[in-house]
Amino acid sequence: EFLILISGKAYTRNEVLDMEKLMLNTLHFNMPVPTAYVFIRRFLKVAQANKKLELLAFFLVELSLVEYEMLKFSPSLLTAA
């Protein structure tokens, strides 16, 4: 319903659902989820980090990945921390 409203009611509910089905079938339902690695690469690029900071950031992200209690946090939140 939200997508219909933000489209200015240009599409019906069925048209939106049909397009969603078409997109998912075209992608063969292959929709990868961003990992902590993806986010940390972007953060480091924006920060124009040097190699030393890059290695430290990757190390800290790896530490968080092996800690069970950290699984409750999203990858973007882990890397932002």
Residue whose pair of structure tokens reads 């932002």 in the numeric block: 80
Beta-carbon contacts of 13 under 8 Å, excluding residues fewer than 6 positions away, are 1, 4
Amino acid letter, 19: M
Q: Are residues 63 and 49 in the same domain?
A: yes
At residue 13, φ and ψ (nearest 5 deg) are -60, -45
Domain range for residue 43? Answer: 36-80
**Predicted confidence band of residue 81 (pLDDT cuts 50, 70, 90):** confident
Number of domains in the chain: 2
Distance, CA of 48 to CA of 37 (rounded, Å): 16
Q: Tell me, yes or no, whether 20 and 53 share the same domain.
A: no
- Pair (25, 58) in one structural domain: no
Give the C-alpha distances (Å, rounded to integers) separating 63 from 49, 68, 72: 20, 10, 15
- Single pTM value for the model: 0.62
Model pLDDT for residues 19-68, shown as the tens digit of each residue: 999 999 999 999 888 999 999 999 999 999 999 999 999 999 999 989 99
Q: In this structure, are 40 and 73 located in the same domain?
A: yes
- pLDDT score at 63: 92
